[in-house]
Amino acid sequence: MSRTDSLALRTDTPSTPAASAPLSPRGDCALPSLGRTVTTAVPDTLRIGLLGCGVVGGGVVETLHQNARHIEAEHGVRLDIVRAAVRDVQRERSVHVRRSWLCSDWREVCEADDVDLVIEVMGGTSPAREAIATALTHGKHVVTANKQLLAACGVELQALAATVDRRLLFEASVLGGIPAIHILHTYFGANRIRALRGIVNGTSNYILTQMADTGLSFADALAEAQRLGYAEADPSADVEGYDALYKLQILARCGLRIDLPEAAVTRVGIMGVTSADLAAAKRLGCKVKHVAEVRLAADGRVSAQVAPVVVAPSDPLYAIDGVQNALVVTGDLVGDLTFAGPGAGAWPTASAIVEDVLKVIKAVPGHS
């Protein structure tokens, strides 16, 4: 990407208009009203609108609070949440959410003049799709963790973002805290990526690990994954392999530059994996893992599946246990590179989201 992003960054002067201004190096800001660059000791402010304040949204609130000083010192910018849309404004929240932020209508966030960037963590395709489109057309950059939406409408929303010259970033939609999208977009230039293979659903991996290592039942392991904030609002998306399928579609688009329709992917979840299967794998010195894989043959043929498979100790996915995720990228020059880390939960996901927010600010090339 060659263009430079612009942001409506505000100084602390309340009367500063919220018009778009070119992003300047730390400490400098081009005041939109004056059209000149000044140096200021006051950090610029990026005004954030949140769509959703559940597990991940709460993680974002906490992260911005906890690392505010570090971010200000490092980047010269204050990340301020100014609005948040939720379903139920009366609900008790586990994180400190200001009453003044809250509303129940996403339009109040996406159309607001006092919001520069929208973080979408509501989930689902509706109203998330309309909300993101509205935010983009109202001049806001968007960061989202919504894999279901991106798998279904990512191309369309990216095109809209390009048309309105805003950014739509989605690192948190795949592999939790692992910067997989960043790596796929920015690193592999000389290599042709031949395959992407990984453990991409933290809930499934957590359940299989608990069942194999502690003898927990499927139901109890799932309940624990829900309690820990790993599972989707509807956990059938995790255990039936849909969540892994969505992530594979996004990874295929970013890494292989191909559209991977749902119908082209064999999908099997972990519901059919029994304790006896796990014990049998163990006796062979192996483990059962839920693996997502897409391969691009030299003749252009694509094969893709999401399914439980038996992995041997020599497999890089063998050691990936609990909520950990991993992605093995096969390049035609380099061979296999494995990236691993925490794949779900409030903190790793919020980490990926806030890194994306800072990427908008830094206008790092590589995303479109």
Q: Return the number of the residue (204 or 349) whose C-beta is nearest ligand NDP.
A: 349
Contact assessment for residue 205 and residue 324, using Cβ atoms and an 8 Å cutoff: yes
Q: Is 238 in the site for ligand LTNE7NMQ (CB under 6 A)?
A: yes
Measured CA angle at 285 (ends 309, 265), to 5 deg: 5
Strand partners, 123: none
Interface residue with ligand LTNE7NMQ, options 63, 144, 158, 203 (CB under 6 A) = 203
Q: Return the number of the residue (107 or 295) whose C-beta is nearest ligand NDP.
A: 107
Q: Return the number of the residue (228 or 358) whose C-beta is nearest ligand LTNE7NMQ.
A: 228
Taking the C-alpha atoms of residue 73 and residue 283, their distance in angstroms, rounded to an integer, is 53
Identify what 135 binds: ligand NDP, ligand LTNE7NMQ, none; CB under 5 to 8 Å per kind: none
Q: Is 231 in the site for ligand LTNE7NMQ (CB under 6 A)?
A: yes
The nearest distance, CB 89 to ligand NDP, in angstroms, is 7
Identify what 238 binds: ligand LTNE7NMQ, ligand NDP, none; CB under 5 to 8 Å per kind: ligand LTNE7NMQ
Q: Is 344 in the site for ligand NDP (CB under 6 A)?
A: yes
Interface residue with ligand NDP, options 57, 177, 308, 342 (CB under 6 A) = 57
Active site residue 287: no
The nearest distance, CB 86 to ligand NDP, in angstroms, is 4
Q: Angle 218-227/202-214 helices, nearest 10 degrees?
A: 130
- Phi, psi (rounded to 5 degrees) for 297: -75, 160
Interface residue with ligand LTNE7NMQ, options 5, 116, 232, 240 (CB under 6 A) = 232
Q: Among residues 63, 3, 6, which one has the least CA distance to residue 346?
A: 63
Q: How many Cβ atoms sit within 10 Å of the Cβ of residue 38?
A: 12
Give Cβ neighbours of residue 294 (< 8 Å, ≥ 6 apart). 195, 196, 197, 248, 251, 252, 256, 260, 265, 302, 303, 304
Taking the C-alpha atoms of residue 63 and residue 42, their distance in angstroms, rounded to an integer, is 21
The SS3 call for residue 335 is strand
Measured CA angle at 170 (ends 165, 171), to 5 deg: 130
Q: Return the number of the residue (7 or 110) whose C-beta is nearest ligand NDP.
A: 110
Site for ligand NDP in 149-188 (CB under 6 A): 172, 176
Q: Which residues of 190-215 are buried (b: 16+ CB within 10 A; e: fewer)?
A: eeebbbbbbbbbbbbbbbbbbbbeee
The nearest distance, CB 344 to ligand LTNE7NMQ, in angstroms, is 4
Contact assessment for residue 154 and residue 179, using Cβ atoms and an 8 Å cutoff: no
Size of the site for ligand NDP (CB under 6 A): 28
The nearest distance, CB 300 to ligand LTNE7NMQ, in angstroms, is 30
Strand partners, 81: 48
The DSSP-derived string for 209-254 is HHHHHH---HHHHHHHHHHTT-S-SSTHHHHTSHHHHHHHHHHIII
Q: Where are the beta strands (DSSP E) in 64-103?
A: 77-85, 102-103
Contact assessment for residue 206 and residue 276, using Cβ atoms and an 8 Å cutoff: no
Stretch that binds ligand LTNE7NMQ, among 187-195, 198-206, 259-267, 291-299 (CB under 6 A): 198-206
Which is catalytic among the residues 140, 247, 287, 359? 247
Identify what 357 binds: ligand LTNE7NMQ, ligand NDP, none; CB under 5 to 8 Å per kind: none
The nearest distance, CB 64 to ligand LTNE7NMQ, in angstroms, is 20
Interface residue with ligand NDP, options 1, 73, 155, 233 (CB under 6 A) = 233
Contacting residues toward ligand LTNE7NMQ, per CB under 6 A: 176, 201-203, 230-232, 238, 243, 343-344
Contacting residues toward ligand NDP, per CB under 6 A: 52-57, 85-88, 91, 106, 121-123, 127, 145-147, 172, 176, 229-230, 232-233, 344-345, 349
Active site residues: 247
